[in-house]
Amino acid sequence: MGKYVIKRVLLMFFTLFIIMTVCFMLIRILPRELPTDKVQASAIASRWEALGYNKPLLVQFGIYIKNIFLHWDFGTSWKIAFRQPAWDVLTGRLLPTILVNLYSLILSIPVGIGLGVFAAIKKNKWQDSLISTMIMVFVSVPSYVYAFLVQFIFYFKLGWLPPLVYSLADGGGSWLTWKMFVSMILPVLALSFGEIAGLCRFTRAELTETLTSDYMLLARTKGLTRAQATTRHALRNAMVPILPMIISSFIGILGGSMIIERIFSIPGVGQLYIQSINLLDYDVFMMDCVFYTFVSLLAGIAVDISYGFIDPRIRMGEK
Amino acid sequence: MSIKKDISLLPSEKFKFVQEGTKLSDKKFDNKPVGYFKDAWRRFRKNKASVVAMCIIIFIVLFAFLTPLLNTNYDSTFKDIYYQKKAPRNLFLSQFGICDGGTNRSFSESGLIKTIAVGIAAEDKQSNGDLTIAQGLKSKYQPILNLSEPVSYIDGAKNEKLSYPGRVEVYYEIGFIYKSVEQEEYKRIVEWQEKTGLQVLYPLIEENEFYPDTTDANYWYKAVKYKDQGVMPVSTADGLIKRISYSENMKLEDNYMRDNDGNAVFYQYTGGGNINTAQYKVRILYYNYYIYQNGFEPEYIFGTDSVGFDLSLRLAGGIKLSLLIAVCVSIINFIIGAIYGAIEGYYGGVVDITLERVSDILAGVPFIVVATLFQIHLAAKVGAVPSLLFAFVLTGWIGTASRVRTQFYRFKNQEYVMAARTLGARDRRIIWKHIFPNSLGTIITSSALVIPGVIGAESMLSYLGIVKLGGTNATSLGTLLSDASSIWTNFPHLMVFPAITISLLMICFNLFGNGLRDAFNPSLRGVED
């Protein structure tokens, strides 16, 4: 197991390195723009010269990697937050993204799994077909449609909740205040519909499979009631693939959702990504690319490794 | 022994030969043999939801392709800058109370008077301004469709005010505009007016102290801007300026420009040299001017979009583009995935490991990063749509390839494959003739399920503005939605139609794909019966 984990982590960093190389080359060959102000432009130009932006690409990449290892320096933002380290710009945006997605996960995991279990138990009855239809609809409809829908219902019709997430100043100076939480309810809802439907579908599929398996029959023959057999045997086995999925969504919350962040004007990582493209702030863009790649790779190996931990019968990496 | 005895008791005349003289052979099957695809199709048809989904998809595709053909009034380049963001309007359907070009609105007193005044002025053919509100409300060009009882509310300055909820026809609401025409054009309009009986030219307005906004051609009545209530009509009958408030019988005093004989002035020289280039300022009723220009009344069944295009055509264009991209991606993925997966699965060993590593690395790149990089690098050279296609194709085939690979691992060591090899079949023949057909069902399913994913991703990218697909000829559903995103509360149709379309497309393609998956899955055969 330990060997397998180490192998996977090393492979992950190898993949990350290759993707970083390609991204770096593709981003660095883009022409950079200097501001129109002459004094500032010459200052920035000389700064770029000193940072080695005019050297050959491979040398630049060497400098980039060296800086990451020696100073944890991923480059500098030239547009979004002038001359601040790209790493700081990114980490400054992490908290709102994480909060919104965390709230959404806290809401959707119990609801999604609960509905899925309910649907599986009531398989082929009207409750099941109702839930299955809803799942189909909610999985398919894009998240921005929900976003508009919840804005329409809860802001324009009922007037209960603010349509956008407050800025830090309006929300009481911290992301964790109650006022901030209230303004985050709408994006959380908009994110949760799809998440709930996805979890519910997965749970239902897994549980119906385990409910019809032979050991359930054995459990019932042994004298367990239906509820006992379901909770002790079927649910535990169904959880084997469900838990890794939840773990990967917990890692996925770092990435967030660009669309939801944009509609509700949450100053998160997704917004930063869009901003960095629109303003052509290449170092921040590179930082964002590395971050997204890292998060998705991490989520991938977390799933594989957690299988082995959750269910010792599964031996990962065996031939 | 007893049985034998019993038989021997039977008389011999009770026996006869089953067949004599004719040949005995197996019965021919009455029914036709059922192949793999026929069987799948039969099972697919049993799935009601998928069949309905397929019908809706066909309907949407027909809509996308037929709308430009059936819409004889407009083509995709037709754009009207005055009729932007207008609500759906269709003269036939408006008899049933839908698509009447109306939106609900709450009017302030001054706004209500101004809106009603459009109808009064349009009706006032003699331009002497002696119609009352009640008469004006009956006009064909009256923007107010219906009006409810006023509601009182407290405004920001703590004054009690009335607001008038009502429904307004947005095509009439534009009312009058100023336009600069040459003499020739003016003559043509007058000629057309006489021929059709529809009035386009209306008198100009005197620019005096009763004209609060000289660019707004709808203030034809004497009005003054007040601090608390906005622009309100005034009466100057007995030398005093008196504010008039809204009532059924109120009369607005006209402020038309008149010549020395007291006749209304219809045009004014504004500049230009000779007789051909001289420009005249005229005041026109835009609705009739539209008919004069185009030969038909404005009818947009889905309304117009934020720049004045017919929304139904924009939608059709968006659907076509989405489907085009999705189908292309799905076909290309099918081909690349099949070849890649076949080579991986068939040869195995070092080839497999190397190719797997490559696809692992590709799979690790987040799609949004790929799409962005392709857009930045390629959009200027090959256009936005092809570079989007490249982005989808770069990583899209990995899923298909891994499915094909699994199927190859399952089948490549089966006896019939060995038999084929022993008989001297080449690798290529074994791959495509003997093993590949086994994986066809799974690939078709995954190709069908690629389509909703691509549609969703494409609309997301264009919504975020990473891919810029807005143009005169083609647009994307995502672009339409993102155009609507900040203004849709006032113009709900801009949001509702694209949102419904994209949701329907996604739901139906998902259902359709699921139906295909179940139909092609042999392990489910007989389970559901």
Rounded Cα gap, residues B342 and A131, in angstroms: 39
A296 → closest Cβ in B361, B366, B459: B366
Q: Both A131 and A169 in a single domain?
A: yes
Q: Using 50, 70 and 90 to split pLDDT, how confident is the model at B529?
A: very low
Residue A306 inside a domain? The answer is no
For A28, counting Cβ atoms within 10 Å of its Cβ (0-12 exposed, 13-18 middle, 19+ buried), the class is middle
Domain annotation covers residue A319 = no
Residue-wise pLDDT for B236-246, tens only, equals: 777 777 777 77
**Paired tokens of B332:** 């290309």
CATH number, residue A215: 1.10.3720.10
Half-sphere exposure of B282 (CA within 13 A, CB side): 21
> Is there a single domain that holds both residue A210 and residue A111?
yes
Query: In this structure, is residue A99 part of a structural domain?
Result: yes
B369 closest CB neighbour out of A23, A259, A297: A23
- Residues of chain B found within 8 Å of residue A152, distances taken between Cβ atoms: 489
Same domain, A81 and A144: no
Residue where a domain stops, chosen among A251, A267, A283 = A267
Q: Does the residue A280 lie in any domain?
A: no
Are A188 and A241 found together in one domain?
yes
B503 and A274 within 8 Å at the Cβ level: the answer is no
Return the amino acid letter for B259.
Answer: D
Q: From B455, which residue of chain A is nearest by alpha-carbon distance?
A: A142
Q: Chain B residues with CB inside 8 Å of A19's CB?
A: 361, 364-365
Q: Over the stretch B17-59, which tens digit does the pLDDT of each residue have?
A: 777 777 777 777 777 777 778 888 888 888 888 899 999 999 9
Domain end call among A31, A66, A85? A85
User: B465: alpha, beta or left, given left = phi > 0 and alpha = psi -120 to 50?
Assistant: left
CA distance B56 to B511: 11
| Cβ contact A277–B463 (<8 Å) | no
Range of the domain at A183: 94-267
Global model pTM greater than 0.80: yes
Residue type, B113: I
- Domain shared by A39 and A112, yes or no: no
Q: How confident is the prediction along chain A (319 residues), in pLDDT tens digits per residue?
A: 778 888 889 988 998 999 999 888 888 888 887 777 888 888 888 888 888 788 888 888 898 888 888 888 888 888 777 788 888 888 888 888 888 888 999 999 999 999 999 998 888 888 888 998 888 888 888 888 888 888 888 888 888 888 888 777 777 777 777 888 888 888 898 889 888 998 998 898 888 888 888 888 898 898 888 888 888 888 888 888 888 888 888 877 776 688 888 888 888 888 888 888 888 888 888 998 899 889 888 888 888 888 877 777 776 555 4
Q: Which domains does chain B have, with CATH numbers?
A: 52-67+309-524 (1.10.3720.10), 93-294 (no CATH)
Tell me the C-alpha distance between B435 and B446, whole Å.
Answer: 18
Across the interface, which of A15, A258, A292 has its CB nearest the CB of B360?
A: A15
> What span, in angstroms and rounded, lies between the C-alpha atoms of B480 and B342?
41
pLDDT of B158 > 80? The answer is no
Flag if A140 and B460 touch (Cβ within 8 Å): no
Say yes or no: A163 and A226 in one domain: yes
Buried residues in B202-218 as b, exposed as e (16+ CB within 10 A): bbbbbeeebbeeeebbb
Estimate the share of chain B in helix, then strand, then coil, as percent rounded to the nearest 5.
55, 15, 35
> What phi and psi, each to the nearest 5 degrees, are found at residue B308?
100, 10
Q: Is residue B247 pLDDT above 80, yes or no?
A: no
**Cα–Cα distance, B130 to B490 (Å, whole number):** 34
Do A27 and A150 belong together in one domain?
Answer: no
Domain assignment present for A196: yes
Mean pLDDT taken over chain B: 82
Q: Based on the structure, what is the number of domains in chain A?
A: 2
Statement to judge: residues A224 and A105 lie in one domain: yes
Query: Which of B369, B466, B495 best probes binding to A when mutated, by most A CB atoms within 10 angstroms?
Result: B369
Distances (CA, A) of B279 to A63, B81, B275, B370, B388: 66, 21, 9, 55, 48
Of B319, B302, B316, the C-alpha closest to B83 is B302
**Is B465 in contact with A19 (Cβ distance < 8 A)?**
no
Three-state helix/strand/coil letters over B110-137: HHHHHHHHHHHHHHCCCCCCCCEHHHHC
Which residues share a beta bridge with B304?
B310
Chain B residues lying within 8 Å of A255, measured CB to CB: 366
Inside any domain, residue A127: yes
Can you tell me which residue has the tokens 């800025």? A167
List the end-to-end C-alpha distance of chain B, in Å, as a whole number: 48
pLDDT value, residue B127: 62
| Cβ–Cβ gap B506/A300 under 8 Å | no
| Cα Rg of chain A, angstroms | 24
- Residue of B465, B481, B507 lying closest to A140 (CB–CB): B507
Mean pLDDT along residues B133-158: 78
Please tell me the number of Cα atoms within 13 Å of B517 on its side-chain side: 11
A133 and A159 within one domain: yes
Calculate the CA B14 to chain-centre distance: 81
Which residues of chain B make contact with A16, given a CB cutoff of 8 A? 364
Pairing assessment for the beta strands B223-226 and B230-235 based on DSSP bridges: antiparallel
Domain boundary among A64, A85, A106: A85
- A81 in the same domain as A185: no
Q: What distance in Å separates the CA atoms of residue B497 and residue B492, rounded to the nearest whole number? A: 9
Determine, yes or no, domain membership for A149: yes
B415 touches B353 (CB < 8 A)? no
Please tell me the distance in Å from A140's CA to the nearest CA on chain B.
Answer: 5
Q: Would you call B507 and A277 a contact, using CB atoms and an 8 Å cutoff?
A: no
Alpha helices for B348-383 (secondary structure H): 349-364, 367-382
Whether A19 and A126 share a structural domain: no
Which residues of chain A neighbour B361 with C-beta distances below 8 Å?
A: 15, 18-19
Residue B527's pLDDT band, with cuts at 50, 70 and 90, is very low
Helix (H, G, I), strand (E, B) or coil at B224: strand
Q: Are residues A40 and A116 in the same domain?
A: no
Residue A81 within any structural domain of the chain: yes
Classify B199 as helix, strand or coil.
coil
